[in-house]
Amino acid sequence: MTALLALPEGLFALLAASRRLLFRHGLLRSRKLPVPVVVIGNINVGGVGKTPLTLALLQAFAARGVKVGVISRGYGGSHQQPTVVGSDTPASLVGDEPLLLAGAGAPVVVGRNRVAAGELLLRHHPEVELLLSDDGLQHYAMQRALEIVVIDGERGLGNGHLLPAGPLREPAARLASVDAVVINGEHRTALDWPPQLPLFRQRLLPGTFQHLAGSQPPRQAADFAGMKVVAMAGIGNPERFFATLRGLGLVLQRTIALPDHHDFVTTDIPDDADAVIVTSKDAVKLQCVNHARLWFLPVTAQLEPDLAGWILSRLKEFHGR
């Protein structure tokens, strides 16, 4: 199978490298937004923990009085033009992650063209001083001040091969040109990091279980004892979520792993469970279901050392040149 995939992998590598070179040498045009852009991205496919990281940075910047906005591709949304995300915007239009980020109180705009999304956000919110791009590492049409790559500590870079032979969008050598790497979770894979590359650690800390309909008080894991509990997740790495639930002491009758950005319908909710537990990201798409047995588990990203402070320091250094 590896030999059969070698040719398409080589073609993918050639196309990715060629496109980046064309932007680097000005043969394809890139544009600069009026405020600094910090990309929170990844070089591999699948969920790596970018959204909790972005939420943690929004909170840290707000505590410092820095006005920040978020631009995103809005994967899973049907939007055709840059779209402002509000608390009542349907997830089917803008995607699940942007809706979750907008719930944190930051202005959010989605768009296939990140520069156009950034321009729209700044027109609506001229007070914004800094833009975080949720994903967009490979969107070279948008110039950026800093690139931060998130890597799942457990899965690392997989087999090290590019699509379709492996999970990588860009080769591991791309890490030599980014500004920092965030390792999400326990680091269980051996990776040869560039020696000068700043590394940050991210841990996801679970909170209390919240009732999706809001008609019951928050619960701890012990409150589900003796109940038939089903865990359901439509995220990039559902097994991480299931392992978190088990680690909290929940006994799961079964787990249901769905594709990332899955568009939930009422029939997805199992009828044979006393409680169905989902992620925060999935919860924003299940508000229309408002099922009495639905619960979600919020998580908070803890970063060491202080990534927000490091970003502000680098941007100050960048503008001081």
Q: Are residues 149 and 288 in the same domain?
A: no
Whether the predicted pLDDT of 204 surpasses 80: yes
Number of structural domains (the chain) is 2
Alpha-carbon gap, residue 75 to 41, rounded angstroms: 14
Q: What CATH number should be reported for the domain holding residue 14?
A: 3.40.50
pTM for this entry: 0.93
Q: Which 3 state secondary structure label does DSSP give 123?
A: helix
Q: 321 pLDDT band (50/70/90 cuts)? A: very low
Give the start-end residues of each E strand in the chain. Answer: 37-41, 68-72, 83-85, 108-110, 130-134, 146-152, 180-184, 199-206, 210-211, 229-233, 252-257, 275-279, 294-297, 299-304
Which residue bears the tokens 């088990």? 246
The predicted-structure confidence for 114-150, as pLDDT tens digits, reads as follows 999 999 999 999 999 999 999 889 999 999 999 999 9
Alpha-carbon gap, residue 118 to 61, rounded angstroms: 18
**Feature table: binding site:** 44-51
Q: Are residues 22 and 39 in the same domain?
A: yes
Q: Are residues 260 and 235 in the same domain?
A: yes
Q: Are residues 247 and 234 in the same domain?
A: yes
**Feature table: binding site for ATP:** 44-51
Q: Are residues 315 and 184 in the same domain?
A: yes
